[in-house]
Chain A
Amino acid sequence: MKQTRGLTVPLGLAFVASLISLVPLWYLVTQSFSKGLQPFVDELMQQRTLSLIVRSFVLAGSVTAASVIIGTFAAWVITLSGIRGRTFLTIAFSLPLAIPSYLSAFAWISWKPSITGFFGAFTVLSFACYPYVMLPVAATMSRLDPVHEDVARTMGRSNFRIVFEVVLPQLRRSITSGALLVALYALSDFGAVAAMRHEVFTWVIYGAYRAGFNPTRAATLSIVLVMAALALTFAESLARGRDKSANRTTAARHRQRNASRSTTVLSLTGSAVILVPAIGVPIINIIAWLGRSSERVVDLSQVWMATGQSFLNGSVTASATLLLALPVAWSAVRLSGWRAQLPERLTYITHALPGIVVAISVVYVGIRVARPWYQEFPLLIFGQVIIFLPVMVSSLRSAFEKTPVALEEVAHSLGVGHLATLLRVALPIALPGILAGSALSMLAAVKELPVTLLLRPTGMDTLSTKIWDFSTISDYAAVGPFALAMLLLAALPTALLGTLSVMKDGHS
């Protein structure tokens, strides 16, 4: 009896969290069918809807493939390659997380105007998204037991075959979980496709709001994105396969780390090929903006205030997201049956929605059921939590998967309840993963724009709203200091993230 009751609490909390993430669906369904079923069907049953689906999927698919390749290679460089300077490279490789896609898209266009179109959107998004694959893969790589590779080597396998037959299969779950986040992000992004003029779903959805004044159409098209997210989430469940390593309790043996000359050359060349487009182009461009003349003088106190506000918003969002994500991830890893898996899967399906749709949804629901909090801080955080929950859940899930269940079983056998075991045993062991997830959510929250713009308390300025404000009037000289502040603010969580991702069972 006690066992069942103990399980009900985290599972119940997990369901509450997933329901919160589904709040946008309330608005989308109401709005889509506001004129009845027929207009909904007519809007969807058009040749152009099909072509938009194809365009969005081609972009999301190619960005995901590129992110998997880049991210896995980067993870190898910062863990298994054994070259010197891995800590520096880890932080550098994580830095794209601090650069909003619309900023790097602007940077690319300023530098190379002809890049616009599919190739531009593909480039910007791939170099913005690969860290979502790199981080979980690096975490897994740093825990790989080299004994498997050694055994393969003594059996005469070549290094090439070892990678494909021994290493990659062990990375499958980390790769698929990162790939899911990348695919959903690529579907939801507006900044890069707008700047690159590549017309996909989000472009048309924004157009329906901004020029069409037609929220019904925006909601109808958004439902297609929700369907796409459902399909991708389901596909990832199939692709990740059954976990074979969750019950492993032995620690990995230490790896001999002495990079050969050819490994060093390959690592450094590859790193340069990734880092120049990923962080070189945007950062050089931001510095160039600082040098431009403007009739406006940006007051340093403005930058300072906006930085403080962004930091506060980011930390509160990350904390709130963490609290909601913990029961979701824990239930998915430790409990069996579809009911334990369902909340985790559900949190992903609104992740493909563009920010503006989530923002309008929270406006719709907020003004009806949370009037005192409308245009106040708590509702802003609520909106951001919906967007970043999957990022946090994904980090926590892999953290819990890597902690041995046996320790929790020992706690149970000593009469400790499920909730207490979660708080006293599971959480401390998963702490590096928890911190990594928090850093990731904070970085994403600092960059976030559409939800902040519509839901912020009147008069609140953050780094992203200031960057938006000055870009709308094309004053990039004034954008510069705020963009630089965003990079500097992000440096701390990025460094933390990088260091944590290559830590091995709590010690690096």
Chain B
Amino acid sequence: MKSLRKTIAALAALTLVGTACSSSDSSTDTTTASADTTLTVYSGRSEELVKDLFAAFTSETGISVDARYGDSGEMAALLMTEGSASPADVFFSQDAGALGAVEDLLGKLPTQSLSNVDAKYSATSGKWVGVTGRVRVVVYNPTLAPTPPNTIDGLLDPQWSGKIGFAPTNASWQSFVTALRVLRGEAGAEKWLTAFAKNKPVAFEKNSAVRDAVNSGEVSLGLVNHYYLLEKIAAEGADAVTAKNQFMAPGDVGGLVNVSGAGILSSAKHANAAQKFIDFLQSETAAEYFRTKTWEYILTNGAQQAEGLPSFSDLKAPSIDLSDLKSLDITQELLQKVGLLTK
């Protein structure tokens, strides 16, 4: 019996360790966003990319941020699983698709937040607003591909057979395919995808792997977002990076603009603080941050863009309703059918 008591004591000690390690409860002030409010943000954007931005928000407003980081899709799955019991106030997502997937759980944003951004970069339902834009480009290895194509139909040329890298399970790629369906219709999209599959594109796990494979010469071209290259240059220095970005011809669907965006959960316990957070994401402080740290395009009207990037209006991105980009299920079925999602 003495030994059993020892076991129970050990169990109790374990529980104590657990309690000591857990963080304190956030405040539950629902009416005002005061200095002792703690806002819970689920961030699909990497901690290293946004933690300083969150810190700037705290120093500007006095509102602390409890941020939970993870992959945007996994965060959407987390929110769907939690439902209305979620502790989250704000979902800050890397892509529109993940926001669209949880639209039922979000509340409508005020007109003032929505009017700061071109309507085509926010939800038609008004439940989330675009913050930054990521342009789809062809990243290319200049040695292997001195004249890279600037239209998606150019990618079908047999000279690129087996030389194009893409990330089949990546949300940005699937958003592009969704845009293709919307702009060319189901039959047109299937036709392009079938021809693309015939050109034996090489599958990678994520965009950074595509970019690295292009840089190392494993493939000649890669379908990624514009900032992956700038990120590699920042990490390794311009001399260490061979690859270059090819922006697509005006209006070509290959130059789709994907957005990162944010929405407020309808179950949010700190709705006022959450609104202040959305306002902050549209402020000049945030714009300056994105310009210099993530090299994305800033979607807030009139914002200046990062140095060295082609002007946002010159890009003439294909016109598409980003809310249509949530029909990923249908996109995946089509990708399966043409053999581009699974082998």
Chain A residues packing against B (C-beta within 8 Å): 48, 51-52, 113-114, 194-195, 197, 199, 203-204, 206-207, 209-215, 218, 292-296, 312, 316, 319-320, 323, 356, 360, 363-364, 367-368, 371, 374-378, 381, 419-420, 423-424, 453-454, 457-460, 469-470, 472-478
Contacts and interface: CB of A to CB of B under 8 A. Distances in A.
25 contacts: A51-B342, A209-B77, A210-B71, A212-B329, A213-B77, A213-B97, A292-B236, A293-B236, A312-B21, A363-B78, A367-B83, A368-B85, A376-B23, A378-B15, A378-B22, A420-B3, A453-B69, A459-B23, A460-B21, A469-B48, A469-B69, A474-B231, A474-B232, A476-B235, A478-B48
Given A52-B342, A453-B70, A475-B48, A206 B18 contact: no
A477 B234 CA distance: 12
Contacts of B204: 197
B85 A371 contact: yes
**Chain A interface mostly helix, strand, loop or mixed?**
helix
A381 B237 contact: no
Interface string B101-122: 1000000000000000000000
Contacts of A460: 21, 23
Given A113-B216, A113-B218, A210-B171, A197 B205 contact: yes
Nearest to B74: A209
A214 B329 contact: yes
B169 A211 contact: yes
Interface residues of B, number: 68
A374 B87 contact: yes
Contacts of A356: 74
A503 B326 CA distance: 59
Interface in B162-176: 169-171, 174
A215 B81 contact: yes
B47 interface: yes
B76 interface: yes
A377 B19 contact: yes
Contact of A215 (B7, B80, B216): B80
Interface of B: 1, 3-4, 7, 10-11, 14-15, 17-19, 21-23, 40, 46-49, 66-74, 76-78, 80-83, 85-87, 97-98, 101, 169-171, 174, 203-205, 208-209, 212-213, 216, 218, 231-232, 234-237, 326, 328-329, 332, 336, 341-343
B155 to A, nearest CB: 20
A360 B205 contact: no
Nearest to A461: B47
A296 B48 contact: yes
A206 B87 CA distance: 24
A378 B3 contact: no
B156 to A, nearest CB: 23
A457 B78 contact: no
Contacts of A293: 235-237
Contacts of B328: 211-213
Given A312-B17, A474-B212, 7 more contacts: A293-B235, A296-B48, A316-B17, A367-B81, A368-B85, A376-B18, A454-B70
A120 to B, nearest CB: 12
A423 B234 CA distance: 59
Nearest to A204: B342
Contact of A360 (B77, B87, B208): B77
Contacts of A296: 48
A356 B332 CA distance: 20
A203 B74 CA distance: 14
A457 B23 contact: yes
Contacts of A476: 235
A457 B21 contact: yes
A411 B331 CA distance: 67
**Chain B CB within 10 Å — which of A214, A356, A472, A478 has the most?**
A472
A455 to B, nearest CB: 10
Nearest to B174: A211
Contacts of A457: 21-23
